[in-house]
A and B are shown apart, each in its own frame.
Chain A
Amino acid sequence: MSTKFFVSSSPHAFARQNTQNIMLDVLIALLPACGVGIYFFGLRAAIILAVSTFSAVLVEWLIIKLFKRPGSVKDLSAAVTGLLLGMNLSAGVPWWIAMLGSVFAIAIVKHPFGGLGHNFVNPALAGRVFLVASWPVLMTTWVEPGAVDTISSATPMALIKAGQAVDSGMLWNWAIGNASGCIGEVSAIALLLGGIYLMIKKVIRWRIPVTYFLTVFAMSFLLGGMDMMTSYAHILGGGLMLGAIFMATDYTTSPVTPRGQIIMGIGAGLMTAIIRLYSNSAEGVSLSILLMNICVPIIDRLTRPKVFGEVKHNA
């Protein structure tokens, strides 16, 4: 009778999925796309990805240590942010660009607002936008896949913007990743594989990516000249795959309600299509997601689910 057992409030059982293995799954899901990026852009792509990931983790570790913040780099969230940032860069950027982007993402966007789970915009995307604003030329110098030197070439979205007609050969190249663009965005197939993996592992749900894709497809078809090929190109080329599957679904900066997630996907889709079709910029995924990130608190508030058995009150 003298044995004392550990006492706590119920429940006494826990799901096996935890923050660390969720983040690990995201990293695993990103690997195919990284692999294709390295295959087409070579060693320098690998270096960019390594530098961005390593700097993000290092900065996170330093901040946690120096400012005695709660949390740990072991949750792998900084690694995900760093890798995503690297994947959002051209293989032609110097290594210090990758490092600065990661530092900005972790030290400016993530931690001042409370660290993991408290940033109001996606750190990797904010890091990318910071870099585009500061070094616009460096950030938009694209590398021809397979090229040894930095040869400036047009991305699929820039080609479409310029009025290029799309044929099935181009679509195929864009689907496998033989296109110029950011390291991690070029291979639609590899990204889709990662997305399917995350859905099977129940890390992400279908709502945001599927509604995002459908909206962009429908909008680009209706407003982009009723051409199916162009609409396919809007899905397969550019940053939509990476954005819709891996960035718009970021837990912290997307709505928690099922209806809210659908609004997030549609909203980002509308904005992406509008930016791509009507602005000076060929690409609009980053900006759309960032703008939707800012709307998340209000979306959550307006889409609160009905309580089970809720009675209508005449307030």
Chain B
Amino acid sequence: MLCADIPARSTFYDKEETTVRNKTFSGGVHPLSHIHHGKPLTEHKETKVLEPPKEVVIPMSRIIGKEAKCLVNKGDYVKKGQLIGEADGFISANVHSSVSGTVVKVENRPHPTGVKRLAVVIENDFKEEIADTVVPKDISKLTKKEFVQAVKDAGIVGMGGATFPSHVKFMPPEDAKIDYVIVNGAECEPYLTADHRLMLERPDDVIEGVKAIMKVFDIKQAKIGIESNKKDAIDLLCSKVSEGDGIEIVPLAPKYPQGAEKQLVYALTKRKVPAGGLPLEAGVIVLNVGTAAAIYSAIKTGMPLIERIVTVTGSCVKEPGNLLVRFGTSFEDCVNACGGLCDDTAKLISGGPMMGIAQSDTSAPVIAGTSGILALNEKEATKHEVSNCIRCARCVEACPMGLIPLQIAAAADAGRTAEAKKYNAMDCVECGSCSFICPSRRRLVQSIRLAKNAIRNTK
């Protein structure tokens, strides 16, 4: 069924006339709704290709997953698309060179996670010589095993931001019964428009990627969830699917964290992923629209994952926009391509304002999880003073996981790890809705993160 929940397309978006409620979950917050979630800055800006820089710095690690084993040494010549880091262990992904040129250094370099990590520094010779391993494949002829291998070879990771190695998701246990592919086009994180632009500019890659997965794993139905504030993307994708595809485009309520895995699965299927469990246990495979497109284009062209769309935005970016960036390009180059940063930039974030990672400078390179680069001014980045918890219960209402953040945080702050565990700290998805909504500006999710670490360490 196609767009099943929209009875009359023409009236759907007029709030007064619609009787259909967008699908969603309970809890959640509306960050920056007074400025339309910061999206207008870039949502209509077409993605520009950023020319690769003179030097790329490609880390052997992403966000989630074990560091890849480095295969090159100083002085080696590498080609575009050549494997330079091999997946090491189960949850780890391959890393490829994004340019052709000479390896000048293999050393620890700044990483978007805020620490220095092993990276290969390649001097670009601008010849764009392509590796021999880059061979196009016919996606419709792959077996399940070949498909998973192709995804693994191409170093595909979750493009939503957490960079979970994608091939792992495609290795369900033999007895698992999977009947839905759930595709995340929610992009609930404020300011970011990378997925939005991708859906508008490469809709076929998204749809074909989803179809390929459905075919390979013999899954009959797929649902692509998109927040209703991306009307153009919903319309476009709707026009790209036909009745027999089994792909449904579902408008979602614009609410954070709509794109969180469990909340998305619930909004689209009313199934609850068991606490502490994987989406597989609810019979679904979940992936981002960016990941679906990346899988499709990597298999079709043979070129592994070496670039992505990055939204460079915020009040302190002079000309905000969306860029197609080769991995290893520094944040510095990205912001310069967007007119540079204003002098009053106080905070630079890799990702969005809700789950992004603050950067101390612009030296980190773009990696697979870099969905955006956000520059905020002094006022927006205010260091709020923390005051006493007034027990207003806003965090309880906001928590999409049904937790009581104030109790977990209080236990965590007092070092009572067992108590934090009893209050289900481990079910926290760290979306940050509690810290966002807290009128006393208490660092709730931050305390809960510490509690989770402490619980893991006491195991």
Interface residues of A (CB under 8 A from B): 1-19, 22, 70-72, 75, 77, 114-118, 251-252, 254-258, 261, 300, 304-311
When distances are taken between beta carbons in the complex, the residues of chain A under 8 Å from B23 are: none
Within the assembled complex, what's the spacing in Å between the Cα atoms of A116 and B380? Answer: 27
Known contacts A9-B443, A19-B440; is-contact A307 B346 (Cβ 8 Å): no
Q: A10-B349, A14-B441, A251-B391 are in contact. List 9 more A-B contacts (CB 8 A).
A: A1-B361, A6-B347, A9-B358, A12-B349, A12-B376, A13-B190, A13-B353, A13-B436, A307-B427
Within the assembled complex, what's the spacing in Å between the Cα atoms of A153 and B402? Answer: 51
- Chain B CB count within 10 A is highest, among A3, A5, A311, for A5
Q: A306 to B361, Cβ gap below 8 A? A: no
Q: B436 to A1, Cβ gap below 8 A? A: no
Q: B436 to A308, Cβ gap below 8 A? A: no
Q: A5 to B348, Cβ gap below 8 A? A: yes
Q: How far is the CB of B92 from chain A (nearest CB, A)?
A: 24
When distances are taken between beta carbons in the complex, the residues of chain A under 8 Å from B148 are: none
When distances are taken between beta carbons in the complex, the residues of chain B under 8 Å from A310 are: 275, 402
Q: Is B406 an interface residue (CB 8 A)?
A: yes
When distances are taken between beta carbons in the complex, the residues of chain B under 8 Å from A9 are: 358, 443, 445-446, 449
Q: B396 to A3, Cβ gap below 8 A? A: no
Q: Is B184 an interface residue (CB 8 A)?
A: no
A5 touches which of B29, B347, B353, B392 (Cβ 8 Å): B347
Q: B356 to A12, Cβ gap below 8 A? A: yes
A11 touches which of B362, B393, B401, B436 (Cβ 8 Å): B436
Could you give, for residues 367-406 of chain B, a 1 whenever the CB lies within 8 Å of some chain A CB and a 0 otherwise?
Answer: 0000000101000110110011111111011001111101
- Chain A CB count within 10 A is highest, among B272, B346, B348, B391, for B391
- Which residue of chain A is the closest to B423 with respect to CB atoms? A304
Q: Is B228 an interface residue (CB 8 A)?
A: no
Within the assembled complex, what's the spacing in Å between the Cα atoms of A118 and B437? Answer: 20
The main secondary structure of chain A at its interface with chain B is loop
When distances are taken between beta carbons in the complex, the residues of chain B under 8 Å from A77 are: 390
When distances are taken between beta carbons in the complex, the residues of chain B under 8 Å from A10 are: 349, 351, 353-358, 432, 445
Q: How far is the CB of B301 from chain A (nearest CB, A)?
A: 34
Q: B274 to A251, Cβ gap below 8 A? A: no
A17 touches which of B357, B380, B439, B443 (Cβ 8 Å): B439
Known contacts A5-B360, A116-B390, A117-B388; is-contact A309 B272 (Cβ 8 Å): yes
A12 touches which of B273, B347, B362 (Cβ 8 Å): B347
Q: How far is the CB of B427 from chain A (nearest CB, A)?
A: 5
- Which residue of chain A is the closest to B346 with respect to CB atoms? A6
Q: Is B221 an interface residue (CB 8 A)?
A: no
Interface residues of B (CB under 8 A from A): 29, 31-32, 34, 114, 190, 262-263, 266, 272-277, 332, 341, 345-349, 351, 353-363, 374, 376, 380-381, 383-384, 387-394, 396-397, 400-404, 406-407, 423-424, 427, 432, 435-441, 443, 445-446, 449
Known contacts A8-B383, A307-B401; is-contact A13 B388 (Cβ 8 Å): no
- Which residue of chain A is the closest to B330 with respect to CB atoms? A1
- Which residue of chain A is the closest to B401 with respect to CB atoms? A308
Q: B361 to A5, Cβ gap below 8 A? A: yes
Q: B392 to A309, Cβ gap below 8 A? A: no
Q: List 11 A-B contacts (CB under 8 A).
A: A4-B361, A5-B347, A13-B190, A14-B436, A18-B440, A19-B387, A70-B387, A117-B440, A118-B388, A300-B407, A309-B262
- Chain A CB count within 10 A is highest, among B266, B363, B397, B400, for B397
- Chain B CB count within 10 A is highest, among A14, A114, A308, for A308
When distances are taken between beta carbons in the complex, the residues of chain A under 8 Å from B358 are: 5-10, 12
Q: A251 to B383, Cβ gap below 8 A? A: no
Q: A1 to B363, Cβ gap below 8 A? A: yes
- Which residue of chain B is the closest to A306 with respect to CB atoms? B402
Q: How far is the CB of B32 from chain A (nearest CB, A)?
A: 6
B29 touches which of A15, A18, A255 (Cβ 8 Å): A15
- Which residue of chain A is the closest to B375 with respect to CB atoms? A5
Known contacts A12-B356, A307-B424, A308-B401; is-contact A5 B346 (Cβ 8 Å): yes
When distances are taken between beta carbons in the complex, the residues of chain A under 8 Å from B363 are: 1
Q: A13 to B31, Cβ gap below 8 A? A: yes
Known contacts A4-B360, A5-B359, A6-B358; is-contact A251 B392 (Cβ 8 Å): yes
Q: How far is the CB of B162 from chain A (nearest CB, A)?
A: 13
Q: How far is the CB of A313 from chain B (nearest CB, A)?
A: 10
- Which residue of chain A is the closest to B440 with respect to CB atoms? A19
Q: How far is the CB of A260 from chain B (nearest CB, A)?
A: 9
When distances are taken between beta carbons in the complex, the residues of chain A under 8 Å from B439 are: 15, 17-19, 22
What are the 7 A-B residue pairs with the smallest beta carbon separation, nearest first? A11-B432, A13-B353, A256-B393, A309-B272, A117-B388, A7-B358, A12-B353
Q: A11 to B355, Cβ gap below 8 A? A: yes
Within the assembled complex, what's the spacing in Å between the Cα atoms of A311 and B272? Answer: 10
When distances are taken between beta carbons in the complex, the residues of chain A under 8 Å from B381 are: 6, 12
When distances are taken between beta carbons in the complex, the residues of chain A under 8 Å from B403 are: 305, 307
Known contacts A308-B272, A309-B262; is-contact A11 B400 (Cβ 8 Å): no
Q: B356 to A307, Cβ gap below 8 A? A: no
- Which residue of chain B is the closest to A77 with respect to CB atoms? B390
Q: How far is the CB of A23 from chain B (nearest CB, A)?
A: 9
- Which residue of chain A is the closest to B400 with respect to CB atoms? A308
Within the assembled complex, what's the spacing in Å between the Cα atoms of A10 and B449? Answer: 11
B404 touches which of A4, A13, A70, A257 (Cβ 8 Å): A257
B435 touches which of A11, A18, A300 (Cβ 8 Å): A11
When distances are taken between beta carbons in the complex, the residues of chain B under 8 Å from A252 are: 390-391
Within the assembled complex, what's the spacing in Å between the Cα atoms of A6 and B266? Answer: 36
A311 touches which of B274, B349, B432 (Cβ 8 Å): B274
When distances are taken between beta carbons in the complex, the residues of chain B under 8 Å from A257 are: 393, 396, 404
Q: B435 to A307, Cβ gap below 8 A? A: no
- Which residue of chain A is the closest to B382 with respect to CB atoms? A14
Q: How far is the CB of B230 from chain A (nearest CB, A)?
A: 20
Within the assembled complex, what's the spacing in Å between the Cα atoms of A120 and B390? Answer: 12
- Chain B CB count within 10 A is highest, among A72, A305, A309, A310, for A309
Q: How far is the CB of A77 from chain B (nearest CB, A)?
A: 8
When distances are taken between beta carbons in the complex, the residues of chain B under 8 Å from A309 are: 262, 272-275, 277, 427
B391 touches which of A11, A70, A256 (Cβ 8 Å): A256
